[in-house]
Structure 1
């Protein structure tokens, strides 16, 4: 796995969000957002930690400290349980190098340190083999295929991957 660090989301990450918003990056997520939607998302990412509802991070490739993607987890409610939901994006020029796996491992460790929820779920599109492979590599259990609404008003077939965290309720 690549050497990465996850760094709390900051004001400077709006440009990263714009890069992630490219059509090829948003193919499995309902397509690109408007500038207004990106600014709302950026504000939500900046505020999530302070609200105690999760954490958003930029993914930084070491040793050069190049920002190459985003990862985060947030409080969610799934099938009657309070859980963390996790999601990530790695810029195209950096994909296929284990960066997402390394960043996800760091996010899992961060979530474990909070000891808040027992389960973490990821919901990659069934048509996104790379993200599904990351889940498999990090020992998430494939629970089922499901219809997932993201963004609001757009339903897509996803896989429900679940990981039991070390600490939690």
Structure 2
């Protein structure tokens, strides 16, 4: 695995989002986004970080001075309880090096250390082979399929993967 580190989400986030705003990277996320959508998500992330409901990180490697991916978790109401939802992305030129799994495991450790919620979930589309593989390799448990809308108004079928944060020192 390539050496990496995580840095807090900041004004470099939209730079990463623009680099990832390609048909290839957006296939499972509703397609290429407008500049307004990127700016709106960046604001939501920063607002969530300030409110303490979101933790988002830029994925950094020595090969590139700019972020090459991101990973994070945010609060979500799911089946009557508050959980973390997790998401990640790694730019195509850096895929296949274990960075998605490694950064997801690092974020799981940070979420567990916060001690706020017992479970973290990820909801990749059922046909997103790469993200489903990240979940499996990172030790998530597959609970089944669920219907979602992402982006809003776009119905999709996702897998519900759950990670028990108690397994890495999170709350009982």
TM-score w.r.t. length of structure 1? 0.94
Comparing 139-148 and 38-47, the one that deviates more: 38-47
In structure 1, the gaps of 5 or more residues are: none
Name structure 2 gaps, 5 residues minimum: none
1:65-102 CA-partner distances (Å, limit 9, x unpaired): 55211111000011111100000111011111100011
Question: What number of residue pairs does the alignment pair up?
Answer: 169
Return the alpha-carbon distance in structure 1 between the equivalents of residues 49 and 20 of structure 2.
21
Residue in 2 aligned with 1:149?
149
- 1:113 counterpart SS class: helix
Deviations 1:38-73 (A, max 9, x none): 111111122221101121111112476552111110
Query: What SS does the aligned partner of 1:11 have?
Result: coil
Deviation readout 1:102-125 (Å, 9 max, x if unpaired): 110110011011000000000011
Q: Which has the higher helix share?
A: 2
What is the aligned partner in structure 1 of residue 112 from structure 2? 112
1:1-169 equivalences in 2 (<5 Å): 1-62=1-62, 66-166=66-166, 167-168=170-171
Alignment check: 8 A CA contact 1:48 1:56 kept: no
Q: Distance in 1 between matches of 2:82 and 2:153?
A: 23
Deviations 1:114-158 (A, max 9, x none): 000000000011111111111101110000011111111111111
Contact 2:12–2:67, Cα closer than 8 Å, also in 1: no
Q: For 2:92 and 2:82, how far apart are their aligned partners in 1?
A: 33
Structure 2: distance between partners of 1:92 and 1:123? 21
The whole-number CA distance in structure 2 between the counterparts of 1:128 and 1:113 is: 29
Q: C-alpha separation between the residues in 1 aligned to 2:98 and 2:115? A: 26
Q: CA RMSD in A?
A: 1.4
